[in-house]
Structure 1
């Protein structure tokens, strides 16, 4: 298929931008998906000159960029804000930490992110939305349907004005469907789309790892939302086939702890069926990048990133343009 293979820089934000470019090129990547933290892509600095300089450095290493990602700020737009957010947000978005003020500043920053993306020359912003109702995920004390409805209404009220700006700019927002977000499986994704009347600027950054360990049909997700797949993360996860000490909710354990039901893995070392993902992407006509989001607490990241690039190139086969038995007709 010759889809671009890119590296998401979110897990490399401790390394300067140009060093990441050098490493990504040496690992074999075609380009980068730039995280809006560290010095990789700073929204508050992203004027025309800044974006031109980023492009020059990317060009120097023969790298492309198809998307930027602002998961951290997006999370704060509809979340229940607490001290956790202070550690992930720019100081100018956190401000005094008053929750509604944080949400409003986060919303404005997501609009500025779209404007910066346009100056950089990309039309996809990946990210999170946060959720006002994630804390209601388990229904005890009993959660009424009215409470859930109110959460989706709040999400729509906060995100539709942002999405309207994206639409005017020709930028699309791609939510990474994920626990803690307004959409975290197929059922909640359908409800999310209904809440915003299937807004044309809103779609998905498909990441199978967050669906697989939940027991969600991640291949079915691609077919259910084929027209809304704006971007793809290649990320693996392994989950236990036997009972464990810490279940799907994690037991308040750290990643990598023995006895967990699941953990992220370097590509090809987990349980995600990437061949079926490629077949599904071929069927739905997805031609965008395959972006490696590398996470594996048990493996050196440089070894893993290089191996992951090779894995994606090997697995990304083109679809056939003929019927395999057509030759028999002759």
Structure 2
């Protein structure tokens, strides 16, 4: 068993134009005063991180690590969710994703895909230069609009989508293996990898690639009404990253998991700050300790009600309270006694058994 590392803070939801959220050094100063021990850095946010420079320059990476070290922090992981999402985009979402890419690429899906793949390569290389082992990402989605099987999905549609998804990701997984990095796919609604079954479908198509791993975020399982504790039992060997994020699901006579197109605050399933939702974090932290989870417990703030600074401050205490300092001894050691092989035979009534 292993004691979880943490708390780390995912910066994606804290990036802003105003200090202390407008630069990596400013947010590092703030995060340390809140009690965080590490930062999870979104590679797509140029206010915090220059992914091109990081992939090319060891000096730049060393400077970032040194600056964070001066504030008593380290990098837990990089994340590449926007880049990963854009590796595979269904045409229905082309216009919605145009704002996330350079202007010359807008309206050019093939160029966007090529750009995203190159960005993933840069982020994998940057992770290696930073001395990291795990990289969080999204899978992207080609089949998501066909999630509900009506009208009936034609035979071969989902297979074709996952074949193409695997074709795009396999070279990136191979590069990650070369660089010693695990690609941790966040199991997430709106991604083709959104539950255990879809992850397995993809995993088989990338030939059970040793770098194909999982970022576990229980809030998305609450919204899907999926048993996240059983999920940990099944997939514990794949889980290398952990977003500590709360959620609640309160079905009514008017709406359930689909939410009726409501805004976040009015949905049956919605994200909450840590401790304000329904996730059984005692059960989760217990299982992760039991299964020797090697990574960080990283706070991700996405609450539809509470502001992020309160969520971060309360979240640090919440995570610290749930991290289990694992024992190095058995609780019943006091009752133990040395027993030799002759005594074991006697205990089983085998001392007089004839031996062949």
Is the aligned partner of 1:245 residue 2:254? yes
Render the CA deviation track for 1:104-135: whole Å, top value 9, x for unaligned. 22112101111111122222210101111011
Render the CA deviation track for 1:34-62: whole Å, top value 9, x for unaligned. 01214122212323233233222211211
Once the two structures are overlaid, the 10-residue window that deviates more, 45-54 or 227-236, is 45-54
Name the SS of the counterpart of 1:299 in structure 2: coil
Find the aligned partners of 1:26 and 1:263 in 2 and give their Cα distance. 29
Find the aligned partners of 2:281 and 2:289 in 1 and give their Cα distance. 12
| Contact 2:240–2:294, Cα closer than 8 Å, also in 1 | no
Q: Which residue of 2 aligns with 1:302?
A: 309
Is the aligned partner of 1:166 residue 2:168? no
TM superposition shift of 1:73: 1.2
Render the CA deviation track for 1:77-115: whole Å, top value 9, x for unaligned. 0121411111223x17x6143112211221121011111
Distance 1:145 1:210, change over 3 A: farther
**TM-score with structure 1 setting the length:** 0.93
Distance 1:323 1:60, change over 3 A: closer
Which residue among 76, 81, 84 is the counterpart of 1:71?
81
Is the aligned partner of 1:277 residue 2:287? no
Is the aligned partner of 1:262 residue 2:269? yes
| Contact 1:246–1:253, Cα closer than 8 Å, also in 2 | no
Find the aligned partners of 1:244 and 1:51 in 2 and give their Cα distance. 53
Once the two structures are overlaid, the 10-residue window that deviates more, 37-46 or 146-155, is 37-46
Residues 1-330 of structure 1: pairs in structure 2 closer than 5 A: 1=3, 3-14=5-16, 15-16=21-22, 17-36=24-43, 37-46=45-54, 47-48=56-57, 49-81=59-91, 82-89=94-101, 91=102, 95-240=105-250, 242-257=251-266, 260-328=267-335
Q: Which residue of 1 aligns with 2:347?
A: none
Find the aligned partners of 2:272 and 2:217 in 1 and give their Cα distance. 13
Find the aligned partners of 2:110 and 2:4 in 1 and give their Cα distance. 45
Q: Which residue of 1 aligns with 2:354?
A: none
Find the aligned partners of 1:284 and 1:10 in 2 and give their Cα distance. 28
Structure 1's consecutive aligned runs of 4 or more residues displaced over 6 angstroms after TM superposition are: none
TM superposition shift of 1:322: 4.2
Name the SS of the counterpart of 2:52 in structure 1: helix
TM superposition shift of 1:192: 1.8
TM superposition shift of 1:200: 0.9
Find the aligned partners of 1:99 and 1:41 in 2 and give their Cα distance. 25
Q: Which residue of 1 aligns with 2:351?
A: none
Find the aligned partners of 1:196 and 1:312 in 2 and give their Cα distance. 34
Name the SS of the counterpart of 1:39 in structure 2: coil
Find the aligned partners of 1:179 and 1:303 in 2 and give their Cα distance. 26
| Contact 1:244–1:261, Cα closer than 8 Å, also in 2 | no
Distance 1:244 1:328, change over 3 A: farther
Kindly report the root-mean-square deviation, in angstroms, between the aligned alpha carbons of the 2 structures: 1.8
**TM-score with structure 2 setting the length:** 0.87
Question: Based on CA coordinates, which of the two structures has the bigger radius of gyration?
Answer: 2
Name the SS of the counterpart of 2:156 in structure 1: helix
Render the CA deviation track for 1:264-293: whole Å, top value 9, x for unaligned. 011111111001101110121112110101
Find the aligned partners of 1:167 and 1:328 in 2 and give their Cα distance. 47
TM superposition shift of 1:323: 4.3
Gaps of at least 5 residues in structure 1 are none
Find the aligned partners of 1:221 and 1:62 in 2 and give their Cα distance. 34
